[in-house]
Amino acid sequence: MFFVVFSILISTACGLDNGLALTPPMGWMTWQRFRCITDCVIYPTECISEELIKNMADLMVSEGYLAAGYEYIIVDDCWMAKERDENGRLKPDPDRFPSGIKALADYVHSIGLKFGIYEDYGTKTCAGYPGIIGHLETDAQTFADWEVDYIKLDGCYNNRSTMVDGYVEFGKLLNRTNRPIVYSCSWPAYEEPLGIKSDYQKLVETCNLWRNWDDIEDAWTNVTNILKWFSSNQDRVANYSGPGHWNDPDMVNLVF
Ligand code: GLA
C-alpha cells in the first residue's frame, strides 16, 4: 500500500501539474464514426455540426455513458471554417456551427458533460483546416474563452525538427490561460512509426495523454496491430503512464 501511494506521489510530482486526468480520460469523439463529413445537405444527421454534437451529448447522458464515467465529448477535425477571422482567431464553420463554439460548450456543460476540441500543431490540420502554427497564443486563449476542457493537438503538416518544442510551448500557453484543459498530444504518433523513439519523460512533463501509434480503424486487424505495438514496446513506455499522464492507444480504453 505504501509503495502504491508513494509511486503515485512521485509520478504526479514529476508530471504535468495541472491536476487533470488523474484517471485515464474517458469519453467519445467524432472521428471514428463521423470522420470529416461536412455535407449537411446529403448527410443532415451525420455531418460535423452543432446538431450532431448536441444529439450525441444527449445520448451520452440518456444512455448512461456519463453515469459510467464517459464524461468528455470531443469534436475531432473538420469543425472549422477554412479561414481564420479578421483578427486571426479560429472560427467554426458558420453553416454547421451557427451558434458558435462557446454556446455549444455551454450546452454540453449544462447537461453535465465536459467539452473537447481538435487542433493541429501544423500549418494545417490533417484534413486541411487552419493549423495552429503562428497562432499559438491566440488559439490557447480562444479555447480558454470558449471554456474548452480538453484539447487534442494533432501533428500533421509541421517540420519534425521543431514539432516537439512547439507542443511544449503550446502546453505552457494553455497553462498560462488558467483554465484547466486536458492536453492530448500526438507527437509520438508522428515519430514512432518512423523509427524515432519519442522522449517519454518530456511527454510526462508536457501532456496529460499522448497518442503513441496508428489511428484506430473499424477493423480487427487494425486493433490487433495497435495491441502488437504496445506489447512489443511496453517495457519502454509503460512506466511513463500514471495519474495525470497516459499512453493513449487511440480511443481504446486500455491502460498501458
Ligand atoms: C489524424 C489523427 C486522427 C484524426 C484525423 C483528423 O489522422 O490521427 O485521429 O484526428 O487526423 O483529420
30 alpha carbon to ligand 1 midpoint, in Å? 10
Strand partners, 246: 209
Model confidence at 13, pLDDT cuts 50, 70, 90, reads: very low
What the block records as the C-alpha cell of 114 is: 465536459
The answer to whether 188 touches 203, Cβ cutoff 8 Å, is: yes
At 134 the pLDDT is 98
- Using alpha carbons, select from 132, 188, 140 the residue that is nearest to residue 160: 188
- Report the alpha-carbon distance of residue 73 to residue 54 in Å, rounded: 10
Query: What does the pLDDT read at residue 251?
Result: 76
3-state DSSP assignment of residue 201: helix
Report the number of distinct structural domains present in the chain.
Answer: 1
Q: Which of 234, 255, 231, 252 is closest to 243 using CA atoms?
A: 255
Active site residue 39: no
Q: Locate the ligand 1 atom nearest the alpha carbon of residue 215 and give its number.
A: 8
Do the domain assignments include residue 253?
A: no
217 in contact with ligand 1, CB cutoff 6 A: no
> Is 154 known to be catalytic?
yes
- Region 202-224: mean pLDDT is 94
pLDDT given at position 218 = 85
Where does the pLDDT of residue 16 fall: very low under 50, low under 70, confident under 90, or very high at 90 and above? Answer: confident
Does 2 or 59 have the greater pLDDT score?
A: 59
Residue 254 lies in a domain: no
In a domain, 255, yes or no: no
pLDDT of amino acid 35: 96
Instruction: Mean pLDDT check: name the lowest of 63-67, 91-95, 214-218.
Output: 214-218
Q: In the chain, pLDDT over 90 holds for what percent of residues? A: 88
**171: Cα separation from own chain's centroid:** 12
Q: Does 47 map to a domain? A: yes
Sign of the alpha-carbon torsion through 28, 34, 40, 43: negative
Per the prediction, the chain carries an average pLDDT of 92
Give the number of the atom of ligand 1 that is nearest the alpha carbon of residue 76: 10
pLDDT number for residue 48:
98
Report the CATH number that the domain containing residue 36 is assigned in CATH.
3.20.20.70
Residue 11 has pLDDT above 60, yes or no: no
Instruction: Taking residues 95-101, report their average pLDDT.
Output: 98
Whether 4 shows a pLDDT value over 80: the answer reads: no
Q: How far is the CA of 31 from the centre of ligand 1 (A)?
A: 7
Q: What is the pLDDT of residue 14?
A: 54
Is the pLDDT at 254 greater than 80, yes or no? no
Amino acid, single-letter form, for residue 55 = N
Residue located via cell numbers 484547466:
180
Ligand 1 binding pocket includes 154 (Cβ within 6 Å): yes
Q: Could you write out the DSSP letters of every residue in 171-183?
A: HHHHHHTT---EE
Residue 225, pLDDT > 90, answer yes
Which atom of ligand 1 lies closest to the CA of 251? 9
The whole-number pLDDT of residue 7 equals 41
For the chain, give the percent of residues with pLDDT over 70: 92
Q: What is the pLDDT of residue 19?
A: 95
Rg of the chain over CA atoms, in angstroms?
Answer: 18
pLDDT bin (cut points 50, 70, 90) of residue 179 is: very high
112: which strand partners?
Answer: none
User: What is the per-residue burial (b if ≥16 Cβ within 10 Å, else e) of 211-249?
Assistant: bbbeebeeeeeeeeebeebbeebeeebeebbbbbbbbbb
User: Which residue type occupies 246?
Assistant: W
pLDDT tens figures, 140-171: 999 999 999 999 999 999 999 999 999 999 99
**143 within some domain:** yes
Residue 9 has pLDDT above 80, yes or no: no
Q: Which residue has the cell 443532415?
A: 44
Give the other-Cβ count within 10 Å of 142's Cβ: 23
Q: Is residue 15 part of a domain?
A: yes
Average pLDDT score over residue span 212-232: 92
User: Which residue segment(s) compose the domain that 186 sits in?
Assistant: 2-248
* 1 three-state secondary structure: coil
